[in-house]
Structure 1
Amino acid sequence: MKMIGLILKGIGGFYSVETEEGRITCKARGRFRKERITPLAGDQVEITAAEDGTGTIDEILPRKNHLVRPPVANLDRLFVVSSMCDPSPDKFLIDKTIAAAETKQIEPVLVFTKTDLQVSDGLENIYRNAGFLCCVVSSATGEGVEKVSQLLEGKISAFTGNSGVGKSTLLNALFPELTLKTGEISHKLGRGRHTTREVELYPIGNAGYVADTPGFSTFDMERYDLFDKEQLVYGFREFLPFLGKCQFTSCSHTCEKGCAVLQAVTEGKISPSRIESYREMYQEVKDIKQWQRNKNV
């Protein structure tokens, strides 16, 4: 019987696919290996279910995005978690994470934790003014947890942030029914890196799913397709109204005379910290050649 399902996880060539008939363990058809295509958690797939309760993955439906590490497809939202103290917020890492999400058509949501110890107004204003959804969360008071929960509804989401920013506390507050699962997440996150390539999606709330690992807290520009200097600017949404208005069509928006983006910074329409992050990222990618980009596609 043919049906459509969602891959929740894949281990050792077997995939757990959620369908209207329940979860079905499937194997992928051999042609996927020949074509070097790997089904990912988050993929919508067409399967053929057998009478014994197993199935085969016949087709992977078109993806709107996918990431290599962690291997997950069709993310709707990436929750970028940053604490206001201990550790202090790293605006460059936040901006790099946002740019990676934006260029993959994943909506970033900024989550500021430990706000009972340090106010978030200044940092929050930078990102609210840039047009991002922001949540202020306090584990001491429970402030903001409900808002995060609402933003997870009906979406496929993941969380990211440095070790110690409060992800595990937030995840446990959001998903008390997944205590063991979030305990495993916390263990991975506490070491600051993801130690397995498998990703599992957990159903939450009203038709929502959360990935079992953020896996984003260290960044390689090329790994996240942030290696095209012409496309990098599109990772900064508040720059977009000023593109095409520069004096020179080849403007890199880093130092040129007559740059509309830099003028917007001078006029207070763009935060200085955001343009500094853009400049630093641009320096990382400006000398990467086309053949190097193609190698990483």
Structure 2
Amino acid sequence: MIEGIILKGIGGFYYVDTAEGLIECKARGRFRKTVGKPIVGDRVTLEIQPEDGTGYLQTIAPRKNSLIRPAVANLDLVVAVASAAPPVTDPFLIDKVTAIAVHKNMDALVVINKTDVNPGDELYETYRRSGIEVLRVSAHTGEGIDALRERIRGRVSAFAGNSGVGKSSVLNRLDSSFGAEVGAISDKIGRGKHTTRHVELHPIEGGGYIADTPGFSSFETEQMDLVLAEDLQYAFPEFEPYIGQCKFTGCAHVKEKGCAVLAAVENGEIAKTRHESYVKLYESVKDLKEWELTKGGTR
């Protein structure tokens, strides 16, 4: 048996990157019943069939994290690409993605693109103070691209960004073969035969992978990839010094009297936009029950 990582799964076939190259695999019926459904990013072992070089999946390693939509496992880093130049990114979109990343124990990175047009000083300061890493880049001039390339080297990363923010341009700057290689893999596995786009991993220069995640690209994240309301506070790193300091236990940090987080917002220690995003997310998950978070979801 050999080891590899699933780059794509479609129509019952899985395409696994191994030391011996890209191998087309299937999962026998009993595999799904005993092991579970494989998803992109899974670390697997497989057995190659000598007659045609295809394989059968044998095991899936325990996942360190996973998302429901897009269905992808074992992400190291989530990169939220934003811009202060038109079309200006709504901070809530950034905060939703970074909150999911922090909650799922993935590193979060905010990348401010188009700095040749607008340096995004306010955005930069907001995330610098939040405890979430932030970089400034320009896909047009190449500024900051080397630093970003180092940040993703050897890791499995997913990039998210609203339409027009220049996410594709940033990716092409990071790896000039990105579009061509994605196309080559897609041709091999027959994307043209399917109308629905699926998540896939793209190997990058210097080692590592970038997840091409259609839904994630436009921030169409699944609510179920969020968190129980009482745990949401931990998805905002700048709240940490104030947790447990509120006047009343079980404080939701929304509008309660004696809330240490609200006091920090009033004092300028926590950015107002960040707290507004927290409140919006809190309202969306406050009625979720624990069983719902894993309903039909990941292992």
TM-score in terms of structure 1 length: 0.88
Shift of 1:150: 0.9
Q: Is the 8 A contact 1:69 1:197 kept in 2?
A: no
CA deviation string 1:198-247 (max 9, x = no partner):
22211112221111235222445523234x11121121111122212222
Bigger drift between 90-99 and 26-35 goes to 26-35
Q: Is the 8 A contact 2:160 2:219 kept in 1?
A: no
Partner of 1:203: 203
TM-score in terms of structure 2 length: 0.87
Partner of 1:91: 91
Q: CA RMSD in A?
A: 2.2
Structure 2: which 5+ residue stretches go unaligned? 185-194
Alpha-carbon distance in structure 1 between the residues aligned to 2:58 and 2:182: 32
The 3 A distance-change label for structure 1 pair 117 and 175 is same
Structure 1: which 5+ residue stretches go unaligned? 185-194
Alpha-carbon distance in structure 1 between the residues aligned to 2:61 and 2:35: 16
SS in 1 for 2:118: coil
SS in 1 for 2:165: coil
Partner of 1:192: none
Alpha-carbon distance in structure 1 between the residues aligned to 2:90 and 2:107: 20
Q: After the TM superposition, which parts of structure 1 deviate over 4 Å for at least 4 consecutive aligned residues?
A: 181-184, 289-294
Q: Is the 8 A contact 1:161 1:214 kept in 2?
A: no
Partner of 1:140: 140
**Matched residues, percent identical?**
49
CA deviation string 1:161-209 (max 9, x = no partner):
110001111112112123335689xxxxxxxxxx735222111122211
Alpha-carbon distance in structure 2 between the residues aligned to 1:203 and 1:24: 14
Q: Is the 8 A contact 1:158 1:214 kept in 2?
A: no
AA of the residue aligned to 1:69: R
Partner of 1:264: 264
AA of the residue aligned to 2:224: R
The 3 A distance-change label for structure 1 pair 153 and 58 is same
Q: Is the 8 A contact 2:35 2:59 kept in 1?
A: no
